[in-house]
Structure 1
Amino acid sequence: MYNFLDPKLMPKLQCSAPAMDNYEPHNLISDNEAVRARGFLAYTVTRPPIELEFEFLCSVDISFIILQTSIGNQKCTGIELFARSEASSYVSIAKAVYNTPGLTFCTSRKYSRTNLPPNHDPTNGLFFFKNDTVRVFMNAKFLKVVIFRTERTVPCLGGIKVFGKPARSCSEATVTTIDRIMGRIVPKVTTGGKENNTNFAIPQDFIDDLTCEVMAVPMTLPSGKTVDRDTLEKHIENEKSFGRKPGDPFTGLNFTENRKPVMNVALKSRIDMFLIQNSTNPSTFSLKRTLGSDQINSFKRLRTSETSVQCCVCQQDQNLYEIPCRHYYCRQCLLTLLSHKCNICNTEFSKSEATRFHV
C-alpha cells in the first residue's frame, strides 16, 4: 500500500481559489519536506466552498485518506470528497462536518472503529466512505477535496495523504513500475542472462516536430504539429527579437484567440508514464530531454536569469507570478489581464494556475 500523493508518484493538482504567498496548493505535493509542511492557505478574501483536484499517476484502489485540516489558527470544519475514473463524472464518496484538527476517511470493507487504519491519529475524526460508492473509490484516477465550511477563517489544508494500491484496471507493467518507484524489490525478467531491449522504441508522436527530441510538455499548434513548450517559447522569443508577433513556426500565421497553441494533456500523460516505465532501460539514458533533474535545473537556470525574469507588461522584477505558459506578470498586471489570457502567446489560464515566482 502506497501514498499516491507521494511526490515520487508525480501527482498533479489544481485549485479553484487563489492562495497566500508561500502557501500555494502545490505545497501539498512538493518533494521538499519543508515546503510540504507549510500546506495550503487560501487568499485572505476567499470564502468556502473551494475545490482541490488531485490526479494520480494511475487508477487507485483507495483504502484510506488522511487530511490535516488546520494551519495555525486557520481551521476547516466541513469537507466533502469526490472521486472519478478516467471516463466518468465525479461522485461524492464521503462527507464530514467535524471539530478536530484533522480527519481520516476509510473504507468500511477493511477498517472499523476497533480496527483503525494505519497512521490514524486518535485526535482526528474517523469517517467512512459511502457504501454505495465502492466501485468509484476502488478505481479512482481523480480525487476532488471540497472545503465547504470553516471556523470563521479562510479555507486551508495542512496536508493530505491518499493510501491505496493500483486498481485492478491497471496493467501489470504499471503495477511493476509503481513498485519500482516506491522502492519495492521487483524481480527482473531476463532472457539468456541479458535484458531484452530489442523491442524498445520511442513512439513517433512523442518526438518534437522541430527538434526531433522527446517532448516534456507537448503543445499542439494550429497547424496540427506538436512541439515542446521550451521549443515554442524559444521560437516566440526569436520572433520578438525581430519585432514579429508570436505565430505558428510551420505556417507563419500569427496566433489569435481562435488559433493558438494548446497543451496536449493526454499526450503528456503518455510520455510521463513511458519515461517512468523505461527509466531503467539504457536506451533512455541518452535522451536529451527528460522529466528529471536535467529539466528542473534548466528551469532554475532560466528563472535566475535577471534579463528574462520580469513582468511581460511593465518589465518590473518584483512580486512576479508565473502562468502555465511560463510567462511572468507582476501582481498588478496579472489582475488587469482581460479574459485570463496571456498577452504574449494568447494562452488561456485560470487565476488558480498563477503561481508566485521566487528568485
Structure 2
Amino acid sequence: MWNFLNSNLHPKVVCKSPSTDGYEVENLISDEYSKRVRGFIAYPAIKPPVEIEFEFICPVNIDHINLNTVVGSQKCNGIEIYARNEILTHTLICKSVFDKMGIIFCNSRKYSKTNPPEGYNNNYELCFFRSNAFRSFLNASSIKIVIFRTDKSVPCLRSVEVWGIPSKSCSQVTINTITKLATKSLTPNVATISTPMEEFKIPEDFKDDLTCNIMSIPMTLPSGKTVDQSTLEKHIQNETSFGRKPCDPFTGIKFTDHLKPIMNVALKTRIDMFILQNSHRAEISNMGRTIGRASGTRSDHVGNNVKRKHDYSDCNGDLEEAISKVKRSTSFMSFTDDLSIDKNSCVKCKNKLDILYKIPCEHYYCRVCLLLICENSKCSICDISFMKSEVQKCNL
C-alpha cells in the first residue's frame, strides 16, 4: 500500500482560491520537508468553501485518507471529499464535521471503530466512506477535498495522505513502475523527518498569529493579536481593492487614529536577537534581518501610502546646505578607505573568517563579537552607535 500523494509518485494539485505567501497548496505534495511541514493556508480574506483537487499518477483503489487540519492557530473542522473515476464524474464519498486535529476516512468493509487503519491515534476522528460510493473510491483517478467549515479561522490543511493500491484497471507495467517509484521514495522520506525540527523551536510569540510564520516586523493590532507588517499590508491592499476601509483582520473593526496597528518594538528586538543568535540554522536562513522597505515608502495602516521624510527643519536651505551643516557638526565623523582595516578578520578578536558582519562605520566583526557589542549598540573601535537593522552579513 502506498501514499499516492508522495512527491515521487508525481501527483498534481490545483486550487482556485489564492493562498498565503509561503503556504501555497503545492506544499502538500512538495518533495522538500521544510515546505511540506508548512502546509496550506488560504489568503486571509478567503472564506469557505475552498476546493483542492489532487490528481493521481494512475487510477487508485483508495484504502484510507488521512488529513491533518490544524496549521498553527488555524483550524478547519468541516471536510467533504469527492472522487472522480474514468467517466470523469465527481461523486461524494465522505463528509464530516469534527473537533479533533485531523480526520481519517476509511473503507467500512475493511475497518471499524475497533479495527482502525494502521497509525491511527485518538487525536484524529475516524469516519468511513459512504456505502453507495464504492465504485468511485475503488477506481479513483483524482479526489477533490472541500473545506466547508472552519473554527473561526482561515481555511487550511497541514497534510493530506491518500493510501491505497493501483486499481484493477491498471496494467502490470503500470503497477511495476509505481512499485519502483514508491519503494525509492519511502526510505528518504522517513529519513528527512529527523530531530532538528524538534531540537530547534521558534517561540510561539515570535510567530504571526495569522500565517504562523516568524515575524520580521511585528505589528500589534487593536484586537491584541500580532502579525507581521507584510501580512498586514497585504490585508489592507485586499480591503482597499474591494473599496473597504482598512480594518483589523480578526475583528473587522475599522482602523482610526486611536485604534490602529502599533509596531511592537520590544518584541522586534527579541526577534532580531533570536535570529542573529541562530543565523546558522537552516530553518531561518531565509529570514529578513532588516527593518523597513527598500522602496522608501511605508503604509500608515489607515489606507494611505506615505513617503519617508527626513527632518531638515533646522536647515533653512536646500539639501547641500543641510549636508554642509551636518558635516560642520562636532558630532560628525567621516571615514575614508583605511588600508589598516583588514576586511578578512574581526577587528576585535582578529580571527580570520569567511563570514563577517559589517556595521555602518565600516568595521567588521565575527558573530560572537557582534553579539557582545550589540548589548550597547556601539562599535568597540570608534564608539559610533548603530542599529541592529544596519548590520550587514558579508561572505568573504
TM-score for the superposition, normalised by structure 1: 0.51
Aligned-residue offset at 1:135: 0.8
Equivalent residues in 2 for 1:146-225 (5 A)?
Answer: 146-183=146-183
- CA distance in 2: counterparts of 1:120 and 1:43, whole angstroms: 31
Secondary structure in 1 matching 2:180: helix
Which residue identity does 1:77 align to in structure 2? N
| 1:131 to 2:131 alignment | yes
Which residue identity does 2:158 align to in structure 1? G
Aligned-residue offset at 1:123: 1.1
Count of residue correspondences: 186
Which residue identity does 2:121 align to in structure 1? D
- CA distance in 2: counterparts of 1:119 and 1:45, whole angstroms: 35
Which residue identity does 1:17 align to in structure 2? S
- CA distance in 1: counterparts of 2:57 and 2:88, whole angstroms: 17
Query: RMSD between aligned alpha carbons?
Result: 1.5
Give the equivalent residue in structure 1 for 2:18. 18
Q: Deviations over 1:313-343 (max 9, x none)?
A: xxx99xxxxxxxxxxxxxxxxxxxxxxxxxx
Q: Deviations over 1:110-158 (max 9, x none)?
A: 1001111011122110000000100100000010000000011110000
| 1:71 to 2:71 alignment | yes
Secondary structure in 1 matching 2:132: helix
Which residue identity does 2:127 align to in structure 1? F
**Higher RCO (CA 8 Å, separation ≥ 6 residues):** 1
Equivalent residues in 2 for 1:225-244 (5 A)?
Answer: none
- CA distance in 1: counterparts of 2:40 and 2:121, whole angstroms: 20
Which residue identity does 1:81 align to in structure 2? I
Give the equivalent residue in structure 2 for 1:48. 48
Seq. identity, %: 46
Give the equivalent residue in structure 1 for 2:89. 89
| 1:80 to 2:80 alignment | yes
- CA distance in 2: counterparts of 1:71 and 1:182, whole angstroms: 27
Q: Deviations over 1:41-76 (max 9, x none)?
A: 000100000100000000000000000001111000
- CA distance in 1: counterparts of 2:91 and 2:182, whole angstroms: 29
Q: Deviations over 1:204-223 (max 9, x none)?
A: xxxxxxxxxxxxxxxxxxxx
- CA distance in 1: counterparts of 2:54 and 2:18, whole angstroms: 16
- CA distance in 2: counterparts of 1:86 and 1:108, whole angstroms: 23
Secondary structure in 2 matching 1:19: coil
- CA distance in 1: counterparts of 2:150 and 2:16, whole angstroms: 16
Give the equivalent residue in structure 1 for 2:335. none
- CA distance in 2: counterparts of 1:77 and 1:41, whole angstroms: 14
- CA distance in 2: counterparts of 1:14 and 1:86, whole angstroms: 19
Secondary structure in 2 matching 1:182: helix
Aligned-residue offset at 1:86: 2.8
Which residue identity does 1:135 align to in structure 2? R
| 1:38 to 2:33 alignment | no
- CA distance in 2: counterparts of 1:44 and 1:183, whole angstroms: 39
- CA distance in 2: counterparts of 1:34 and 1:17, whole angstroms: 23
- CA distance in 2: counterparts of 1:34 and 1:168, whole angstroms: 35
Give the equivalent residue in structure 2 for 1:105. 105
User: Contact 1:28/1:36 (CA < 8 Å) preserved in 2?
Assistant: yes
- CA distance in 1: counterparts of 2:52 and 2:157, whole angstroms: 10
Secondary structure in 2 matching 1:181: helix
Aligned-residue offset at 1:109: 1.1
Secondary structure in 2 matching 1:112: coil
TM-score for the superposition, normalised by structure 2: 0.46
Give the equivalent residue in structure 2 for 1:268. none
User: Contact 1:106/1:117 (CA < 8 Å) preserved in 2?
Assistant: yes
Give the equivalent residue in structure 1 for 2:233. none
User: Contact 1:61/1:138 (CA < 8 Å) preserved in 2?
Assistant: yes
- CA distance in 1: counterparts of 2:127 and 2:179, whole angstroms: 29
Q: Which runs of 5+ in 1 are unaligned?
A: 185-315, 318-359
- CA distance in 1: counterparts of 2:79 and 2:16, whole angstroms: 15
Q: Deviations over 1:217-254 (max 9, x none)?
A: xxxxxxxxxxxxxxxxxxxxxxxxxxxxxxxxxxxxxx
- CA distance in 2: counterparts of 1:148 and 1:60, whole angstroms: 25
Aligned-residue offset at 1:33: 1.0
- CA distance in 1: counterparts of 2:183 and 2:103, whole angstroms: 28
Give the equivalent residue in structure 2 for 1:286. none
- CA distance in 1: counterparts of 2:142 and 2:178, whole angstroms: 17
Q: After TM superposition, where is structure 1 displaced by more than 2 Å over at least 4 residues in a row?
A: none
- CA distance in 2: counterparts of 1:121 and 1:37, whole angstroms: 19
- CA distance in 1: counterparts of 2:41 and 2:88, whole angstroms: 30
- CA distance in 2: counterparts of 1:107 and 1:16, whole angstroms: 29
Give the equivalent residue in structure 1 for 2:331. none
Q: Which runs of 5+ in 2 are unaligned?
A: 185-293, 296-396
- CA distance in 1: counterparts of 2:86 and 2:20, whole angstroms: 31
Secondary structure in 2 matching 1:175: helix
Secondary structure in 2 matching 1:83: strand
- CA distance in 1: counterparts of 2:180 and 2:29, whole angstroms: 20
Which residue identity does 1:13 align to in structure 2? V
Q: Which of the two has higher C-alpha Rg?
A: 2
User: Contact 1:86/1:142 (CA < 8 Å) preserved in 2?
Assistant: no
